[in-house]
Every structure is written in structure tokens, then in C-alpha cells.
Amino acid sequence: MTIATTTHLNFRGTARQALEFYQSVFGGDVTLATYGDVGMPAGVPGADKVVFGQVENADGFRLMAYDIPGASDDPAGTAGTTSRENGMTLTDRAFFQSLRADSLDELTGYWDALAEGASIVESLAVSAWSPGFGMLTDRFGVTWVLDVRAEYAG
């Protein structure tokens, strides 16, 4: 059993540029998938934006990032997702905490515990990029992105 937690940064259209910058600072490899890569039609605005991105180096540095669906490149803007929790939209959050497990069984245990008293943003289910993915905001206001480790083509 192995889990890892990683800071998951949220951007308004600049995740790719941010990941490339962090790679230039810390080294390592950038892996990313766009919304188009996971099924959004190519002509839809935002299909080229990052749905999953990370930079990871051999020394253990790892940072994840994505572009908030529908959010503009303006960091001061609040356009974007309509998901609201406790009076805040997800666009108001600069980061999520990511938790990755090796198996769905392992992840489900963490999900069930964190979900107690939480607001579910996206139910734990199979996704285009992982055998298990879900998002919730726990009772303390921390938004968690949970997924099962998967190999990514980038």
C-alpha cells in the first residue's frame, strides 16, 4: 500500500505555462492531458486546456495543476465552474490537496473517511484518466482530489 499527497494548483487557463515554468526551476518531466484528450470535442472552447498536469523530478518533487473548466485567463476573474460550497465557488480556491493511492480499494477507504461531513464535488467513480477519481471538500474546508494511480501518456 502506497499513498502520496501532492499540492494540486488551480489555474484559469495557464496551467501548461505554469508547469513548464516549474519544470525549468525544479527539473523533471511534465505530464499532461487536455480536456480534448479525455473526450471533449476539439472545437469546444477550452478543449486545449489542461485537465491533468504534473511536473515530477527524480528527487521526489511533484506538483499537480489543471485549468478550471470555463475559467478565463484573467487571474482576478471569477468566471468558471458553478460548483459552490459554503458560499465559495471552486474558482475561489488557489489549490486542492491531491491524494493518490495504488488501488481503488485503498482509495475508497480514504474517500469514505474524508467524506464524513464533507460536501461532495464529484463522486468517486471511474474517469477517463483513472480507475477511480473523486473530489470533495472536507468538514474543515479543504478540497481533496482523490484518484487511483494510473499511467499517463504525455
Q: What is the pLDDT of residues 84-140, one digit of tens each?
A: 544 556 666 778 888 888 899 999 999 999 999 999 999 999 988 889 999 999 887
Identify the residue with better confidence: 79 or 94.
94
Cell output for 43: 472545437
Q: Is 109 part of any domain?
A: yes
Q: Is 153 part of any domain?
A: no
* Residue range of the domain that includes 93: 3-148
Q: How far apart are CA 152 and CA 138, in angstroms?
A: 28
Q: How far apart are CA 12 and CA 108, in angstroms?
A: 30
Q: What is the chain's length? A: 154
Note the pTM of the prediction, 2 decimals: 0.63
Q: Residue 99 maps to which CATH number?
A: 3.10.180.10
Structurally, the chain folds into a number of domains equal to 1
